[in-house]
Amino acid sequence: MRVWEETLSVPVGRLAALYEEHVGRAVGLATLLTGDRYVAEDIGHDAFLKVAGRFGDLRDPGAFGAYLRRTVVNMCRARTRRLGRERTALDRQVPHEAVDLDSRAEDRDELWPAIRRLPYRQRAALVLRYWEDLSEAQIAQAMRCSPRAVNALLSRAMATLRGEIRRDAG
């Protein structure tokens, strides 16, 4: 049976090497996308389990990092969506008290809170471009959208950040 043979053919040593090579970067990416180091560690680890779990089904096992990156982006997006939904449900049930999410982060630069306030897709495009150093085509693949959409997301993100800097300077 081809499926069984391929999916069970990754030795433990190779798994460990894949883990050490890719998961640290995945956790970094998840941290930048979620803003939460501990959640990011869970996402990085779970994403590895997911992708390694279907290693035999990958069209290009050599592109493990790209598959992992795309999975991390999707999992962070799902978490952000869920948080938005939970917040909406709680807002309907209890009186709202403002919570400064940014106060938990170390604000080494006023730009970081501004990046965290970007809509998720703009933030993801920005992080993939400037931290992962990906091309627009690679970002489009990771975010499953068109390169044109990536270009628009990056333009909007940069416009917003420029506005924030101008406001701070003013």
Q: In the complex with other proteins, which residue's Cβ is closer, 111 or 137? A: 111
Size, binding site for other proteins by CB under 8 A: 86
Site string for other proteins, 110-139 (x = CB under 8 A): -xx--xxxxxxxxx--xx--xx--------
By CB atoms closer than 10 A (0-12, 13-18, 19+), residue 161 is middle
The per-residue DSSP string of 1-64 comes to -HHHHHHT---HHHHHHHHHHHHHHHHHHHHHHHS-HHHHHHHHHHHHHHHHHTGGG-S-GGGH
Q: Pick one of 7, 61, 66, 147: the residue that binds other proteins (CB under 8 A).
A: 7
Q: Of 63 and 86, which CB lies nearer to other proteins in the complex structure?
A: 86
Interaction residues for other proteins, span 41-60 (CB under 8 A): 41, 44-45, 48-50, 52-57
The nearest distance, CB 61 to other proteins, in angstroms, is 13
Residues ≥6 apart with Cβ < 8 Å to 101: 35, 116
Q: Smallest gap, in angstroms, from Cβ of residue 96 to other proteins?
A: 10
